[in-house]
Every structure is written in structure tokens, then in C-alpha cells.
């Protein structure tokens, strides 16, 4: 019986994403921002944790060329089965990109943001990138445009970016020390020459910092992405976080290195490891002292389409969009209605939060003794902020930490996609063990339903399956389960430890 | 006198944009250089531009068939030091 459930997990429509109502019990992420910035990001799924449950984004792959080499990137980008930055299925010309953007905007009205993120560096492809932006700002003025860059060509592009009304830029900054940079970037192409080693890293770092300053001066919002590479820049990223915040970046996104050998990257082939989830979380927590942190990034492909964590690119291949007849003026009107509806819902939620904060009701944390240890729990959701996904349908789990001080979103865990257990690839059993492996460190998993077989395997693995809170809001359910654990004496270990300690 | 792109090319377009002679064209299964147009950048640049930005070792050959970016030249690790580098990286 469970096999049927797993079969359904291969149905990509069904098995989508995190689209839950609140990967942000860390609403403080937004609270620290000025009203002006908040307005700019409130419907941007990559910049606002709250928005990413409601609004979708897309990337168009018009920028294949790159002017640097990163050791975590393989320039052979043409792969349909991998989900990571720098990978695409088909390159588009600027005209094709505009056609695709309008088709997606008409069919997925909650798509608010169009980004150019590769598969190379957008600013190393200035003609293709800026042609696309120019046409879109003329033909689809209701779409926000953003770009993501390694920063090498950024100072020379700021003028042009401002001209196209691009008010969001992401710079990938992995270091501010050339010594460390030389271990990440073997070379850059600069002033018609290939430059290597520390000298190359220094030029890149200088350009990134200069570009960051220039963007901030013009009031363009900057997010900084950093790849956490254990033993290379992990400690150093705390300093990076401090510096970029000081220079005016408004959000820092520390992402784990992806270094599977089969991706063919230098780091992958050489056996450089990526960080464990706990290492990533610790670093994000340490950087958070200085900076707004982003924890909901899914490290998407350079041609991703849809809500973060889902990819509907298959629905919008060139042959499929060629057959669509899009009336963009009509689409724009329909889109506005959808956007207004979502904003209204978000406003209501915000107002409710403010009301609750104003009336100082006894907070749930007051009911929980401060000596209980925190617990990680995984949640299966397909949107709306609810526990509403079958365990077997989940392609990712959201991880929350419950502690005496409340519930907070920690991050997401992808279920191993390399063997999803369909008919052509491997055994169904391995998909299940992939799900269970991805839950390492979590003590419970909350989902709408779960089959008998995974139930017992999860229990064996020390993860308590819980289907009792189906259709409940995530954070309330997580808190309820935490209290149930306390009531059942499951967290008495922390109590004992403390009593022994104080005795 | 012309350069040549061979099989290991990954079609990343980087060379196409930087060629001063417009000698590079998109083709299947990979980009190619028109030998009648290629000047090896003589008179324009000190180094051939395609080979200065190409991310793939041994993908571009000189007129004599030798790779302009030999093995190890882009990773910065010569083949004989590969194992040592690997050990060091795996210890991280």
C-alpha cells in the first residue's frame, strides 16, 4: 500500500515544495527592516521569508558566459536532472526569454519576480542580459527584475542596472581575504587576460566590495549570498557578514556547499565535503548577530520556475510556450487581482500578529519551564502554512526548532532526489530511506498522513511520526507536539541532567 | 594560422563574446572557429582571447595541435600534485 504513495511522490505537480504559511517564525527578519525596504521586498519570494510561501519567481537562462571560475561550479551547465545553481535545460535568446516570462506570468499569476542568474554570470553577458531587461521593463512592467552576479563586472554595470529599474541585486561574496579567495577561485578573466591565484582573488574581492558600495549609494537593495565551504571560509564568513552589513547589504544568505562528485565540479571531484545541517545552522545563528539572515533559500537552478522549492520549468519549455497565445494586458489585470488578494491576506496576518503582541497575553513560553532542551521537528507541507502533506509526497521537509522560548524556522531538508524510487530508477525502498536520512537530528515529523511501513522505519530511526495535527498551522502544531513531549516525560532527560547538575 | 575548438568544449559561449575577429560560431556538437577569420588575436591582444576565458582544459588547440590550456593549468594543480591536493582537501 505504501508503494502507491511513493509512486505519487514522483508526480512533480503533487510533490511540490515548501509553500507553507510560515517558514518565518523568524518574522523578526522583516521587523528589523525599514518600511521602505519592507515595501520593496514584501512580495519578493527570495528576499522575504513570509512572501516565499505566496509569491513565485522565475529565472531565464540567457547568460551562459562567465568571467571567473569557482571551484564549486561546473561550466557544463546543460543537465535536466540536477537542481542547483548554474544548471539549466535550455538556453534562451532574449526574445525567447521575454516570451517565456509573459507565458509564465499569465499562467502563474503569483509570479512577481524575474531574475537572471546564469547559467554563467549575467553581467559577463551584458548584451543578452540587458536586452532581456529592457524588453521586459517595456512589455511587462508589473514584474520585478533582479539579477545575481559574482561581482567582477558589477562596478561597470551599476549605471545600466539603475537604468533598467532593477532594484534588487544579489552578489555572491565568499570571502574578503585573497588568501582564502585563492582556494575558491582559481582564475578570473580580467582586462583581456586570465589572472590566477591571490592576485585574481584580490581583484574580484575589490570589485565585489566596490559594486556593493555603489549599489547601496544608489538605493538598490543588495542581498549577499555566501557558499559555506568547511575548512575554507566557514569561520571567515562571520567577518564577511559583518563587513557586508556595515556596507549596507540588507540580507545575508549563507548556503551550504553542494559538492557531489557526480556534478563534476572541482570540489566535488576532489572530495571537498559540504557542511552538515548543524554546522550550517550554527554559522547562520552566529552571523545573525550582525545581520538579517535568509534561511529559506533553495539554491535553485538558473531556469527555475514557480514557488521556491518547486520547479515548473517543464510546463514552459520553448515548444510549449510557442503554442500559448498570451494576451498580456488581460493577464496583467488578472495578476493584479491575485496580488492584491495575497497582500490583503498578509496584511490581515500582520495586523493579527501586532494585535497579539500589543495585548500581553501570557506567551506560550511562560508555560514551559526554561530548563527543557530544544527539539528539532520536521514538517511536511504543500502550502498555506499548514501541516497538509502526506509523508510519502514530501520532496522536502521544513525543520523547526521548538524550545521554551518558542518555535523558530531553521531551514529545509531536501529528500534525496537522486533516487526517487520510480520505475526507471532504483528501488522504492531507497526513496524511503532517503526521506528518513534527510530527517537526521529531528525527533518528530509532522505530516497529514503516513503509511504503516515508513511509520515503523521512522520509529526505528528515532523519529516519532505524527499525523495528529493534520491541517493545523505549522507553528501551533510544533508547539503542541513539544508540549506533548514534555507532558509524556520525553524531555525529562534535560530535567534530570539539570537536577543532577544543581544537586 | 588559426586556433581550433575540440570535443571537450561545453558550449558556454564565453569565447564567442570575446573574440575580436568574430571568428567563433555556435555549431553542433560544439562551438567552432572559422580558420579563415581567426588571427590568434595577433595585433589585437597579447594572448588569444578565447583561450584566456575558456574554462575547460585542453578544449582549444593552437595551429600545431597543442592545447593552449594544458592539463592542470586551470585548476592550478599540476597532475603530479593531484593526489597531494586531494588529500589536503579531503582533510577539511
Mutate to test the interface with B, among A76, A89, A195 (most CBs of B within 10 A): A76
Q: Helices marked H in A108-221 — which ranges?
A: 126-139, 154-163, 178-181, 197-217
Q: What is the dihedral of CA A166, A170, A176, A179, to 10 degrees?
A: -120
Q: How far is CA B19 from CA A450, B32, B33, B51, in A?
A: 58, 12, 10, 10
- Name beta bridge partners: A252: A224, A293
pLDDT at A9: 35
CA-CA-CA-CA torsion sign (B27, B33, B36, B38): positive
- Name beta bridge partners: A253: A225
- The residue extents of the domains of chain A are 32-312, 364-502
State the DSSP H helix or E strand holding residue A226, giving kind and residue range, or none if neither: strand A221-228
Distance of alpha carbon A156 from alpha carbon A497, whole angstroms:
59
Q: What is the dihedral of CA A398, A404, A406, A410, to 10 degrees?
A: -30
Helix and strand numbers, DSSP H then E, in chain B: 3, 4
Residue percentage of chain A with pLDDT more than 90: 46
For A161-165, A345-349, B4-8, which range has the lowest pLDDT when averaged over its residues?
Answer: A345-349
Distance of alpha carbon A448 from alpha carbon A427, whole angstroms:
25
Distance of alpha carbon A262 from alpha carbon B92, whole angstroms:
20
pLDDT tens, residue by residue, A166-191: 879 999 999 999 999 999 999 999 99
Residue B11 has pLDDT above 60, yes or no: yes
Pairwise CB contact (< 8 Å): A75 & B55: yes
pLDDT at A502: 44
Pairwise CB contact (< 8 Å): A67 & B89: no
Cell (9 digits) for A341: 488578494
Closest partner CB to A193 (pick from B52, B55, B85): B52
Closest approach of A188 to chain B, Cα-based (Å): 8
pLDDT-derived band of residue A18, with 50, 70 and 90 as boundaries?
very low
Q: What is the dihedral of CA A341, A347, A352, A358, to 10 degrees?
A: -170
Instruction: For domain A32-312, give the CATH superfamily.
Output: Aldolase class I (3.20.20.70)
Distance of alpha carbon A477 from alpha carbon A238, whole angstroms:
33
Instruction: Name chain A contacts of B46, Cβ cutoff 8 Å.
Output: 193
Span A64-73, average pLDDT: 94
Pairwise CB contact (< 8 Å): B18 & A196: no
Nearest CA to A256 out of A223, A221, A232 is that of A232
Total number of domains constituting chain B: 1
Span B64-89, average pLDDT: 94
Mutate to test the interface with B, among A191, A194, A269 (most CBs of B within 10 A): A194
pLDDT at A495: 53
Q: What share of chain B is helix, strand, coil (3-state, %, to 5)?
A: 25, 10, 65
Span A319-342, average pLDDT: 90
Nearest CA to A161 out of A207, A225, A115 is that of A115
Q: Which residue has the higher pLDDT, A297 or A419?
A: A297
pLDDT-derived band of residue A114, with 50, 70 and 90 as boundaries?
very high
CATH of the domain at B90: 3.30.70.20
Chain position carrying cell 552576479: A149
Q: Which residue has the higher pLDDT, A53 or A141?
A: A141
pLDDT tens, residue by residue, A74-97: 888 665 555 666 666 678 999 999
Task: Give the pTM.
Answer: 0.81
Pairwise CB contact (< 8 Å): A77 & B90: no
pLDDT tens, residue by residue, A263-312: 889 999 999 999 998 899 899 989 887 677 887 777 777 778 877 777 78
Task: Tell me which chain A residue has its CA closest to the CA of residue B45.
Answer: A192
Residue A207 has pLDDT above 60, yes or no: yes
- Give how far the C-alpha of residue A401 lies from the chain's centroid of Cα atoms, to the nearest Å: 18
Span A317-330, average pLDDT: 90
∠ CA A347-A13-A100, nearest 5°, is 75
Pairwise CB contact (< 8 Å): B12 & A231: no
Give the fold, CATH level 3, of A364-502: Nucleotidyltransferase; domain 5 (3.30.420)
pLDDT at A448: 93
Range of the domain at B42: 1-92
Pairwise CB contact (< 8 Å): B90 & A78: no
Residue A22, chain B, CB below 8 Å: the answer is no
pLDDT at A396: 85
Pairwise CB contact (< 8 Å): A186 & B75: yes
Amino acid at each position: 500500500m505504501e508503494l502507491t504513495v511513493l509512486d505519487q511522490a514522483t508526480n512533480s505537480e503533487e510533490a511540490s515544495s515548501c509553500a507553507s504559511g510560515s517558514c518565518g517564525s523568524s518574522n523578526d527578519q522583516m521587523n528589523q527592516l525599514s518600511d521602505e525596504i519592507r515595501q520593496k521586498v514584501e512580495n519578493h519570494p527570495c528576499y522575504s521569508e513570509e512572501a516565499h510561501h505566496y509569491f513565485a519567481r522565475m529565472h531565464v537562462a540567457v547568460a551562459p558566459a562567465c568571467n571567473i571560475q569557482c571551484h564549486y561550479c561546473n561550466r557544463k551547465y546543460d543537465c535536466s536532472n540536477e537542481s542547483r545553481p548554474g544548471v539549466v535545460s535550455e538556453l534562451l535568446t532574449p526574445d525567447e526569454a521575454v516570451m517565456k516570462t509573459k507565458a509564465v506570468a499569465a499562467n502563474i499569476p503569483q509570479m512577481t519576480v524575474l531574475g537572471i542568474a546564469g547559467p554563467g554570470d549575467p553581467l559577463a553577458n551584458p548584451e543578452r542580459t540587458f536586452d532581456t531587461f529592457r524588453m521586459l521593463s517595456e512589455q511587462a512592467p508589473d514584474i520585478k527584475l533582479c539579477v545575481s552576479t559574482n561581482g567582477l563586472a558589477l562596478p561597470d554595470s551599476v549605471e545600466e542596472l539603475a537604468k533598467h529599474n532593477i532594484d534588487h541585486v544579489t552578489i555572491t561574496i565568499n570571502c574578503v581575504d585573497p588568501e582564502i579567495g585563492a582556494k575558491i577561485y582559481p582564475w578570473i578573466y580580467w582586462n583581456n587576460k586570465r589572472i590566477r591565484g591571490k592576485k585574481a582573488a584580490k581583484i574580484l574581492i575589490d570589485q565585489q566590495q566596490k559594486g556593493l558600495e555603489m549599489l547601496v549609494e544608489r538605493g538598490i537593495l543588495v542581498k549577499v549570498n555566501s557558499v559555506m565551504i568547511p575548512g575554507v571560509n566557514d569561520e571567515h564568513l562571520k567577518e564577511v557578514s559583518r563587513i557586508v552589513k556595515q556596507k549596507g547589504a540588507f540580507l545575508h544568505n549563507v548556503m551550504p556547499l553542494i559538492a557531489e562528485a557526480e556534478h563534476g565540479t572541482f570540489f566535488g571531484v576532489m572530495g571537498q565535503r559540504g557542511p552538515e545541517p548543524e554546522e550550517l545552522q550554527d554559522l547562520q545563528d552566529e552571523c545573525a548577530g550582525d545581520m538579517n539572515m535568509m534561511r529559506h533559500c533553495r539554491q535553485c537552478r538558473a531556469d527555475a520556475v514557480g514557488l521556491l522549492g518547486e520547479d515548473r520549468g517543464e510546463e514552459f519549455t520553448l515548444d510549449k510556450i510557442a503554442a500559448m497565445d498570451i494576451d498580456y494586458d488581460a493577464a496583467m489585470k488578472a495578476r493584479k487581482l491575485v496580488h492584491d488578494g495575497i497582500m490583503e491576506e498578509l496584511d490581515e496576518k500582520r495586523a493579527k500578529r501586532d494585535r497579539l503582541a500589543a495585548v500581553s497575553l501570557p506567551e506560550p513560553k511562560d508555560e514551559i519551564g526554561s530548563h527543557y532542551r530544544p527539539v528539532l521537528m520536521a514538517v511536511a507541507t504543500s502550502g498555506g502554512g499548514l501541516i497538509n502533506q502526506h509523508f510519502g509526497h514530501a520532496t522536502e521537509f521544513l525543520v523547526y526548532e521548538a524550545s521554551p522560548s518558542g518555535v523558530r524556522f531553521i531551514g529545509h531538508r531536501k529528500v534525496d532526489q537522486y533516487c526517487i524510487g520510480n520505475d526507471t530508477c532504483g528501488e522504492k525502498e531507497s526513496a524511503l530511506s532517503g526521506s528518513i536520512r534527510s530527517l537526521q537530528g529531528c525527533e518528530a515529523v509532522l505530516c497529514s498522513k503516513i503509511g504503516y511501513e515508513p511509520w515503523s522505519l521512522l520509529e526505528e530511526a528515532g523519529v516519532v511520526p505524527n499525523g495528529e495535527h493534520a491541517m493545523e498551522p505549522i507553528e501551533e502544531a510544533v508547539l503542541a507536539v513539544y508540549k506533548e513531549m514534555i507532558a509524556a516525560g520525553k524531555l525529562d532527560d534535560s530535567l534530570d541532567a539539570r537536577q543532577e547538575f544543581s544537586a | 594560422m588559426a586556433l581550433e575548438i575540440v570535443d571537450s568544449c561545453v558550449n558556454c559561449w564565453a569565447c564567442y563574446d570575446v573574440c575580436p575577429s568574430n571568428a567563433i560560431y555556435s555549431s553542433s556538437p560544439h562551438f567552432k572557429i572559422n580558420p579563415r577569420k581567426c588571427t590568434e588575436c595577433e595585433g589585437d591582444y597579447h594572448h588569444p582571447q578565447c583561450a584566456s576565458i575558456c574554462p575547460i582544459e585542453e578544449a582549444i588547440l593552437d595551429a600545431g595541435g597543442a592545447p593552449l590550456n594544458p592539463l592542470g593549468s586551470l585548476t592550478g594543480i599540476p597532475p603530479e600534485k593531484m593526489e597531494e591536493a586531494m588529500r589536503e582537501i579531503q582533510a577539511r
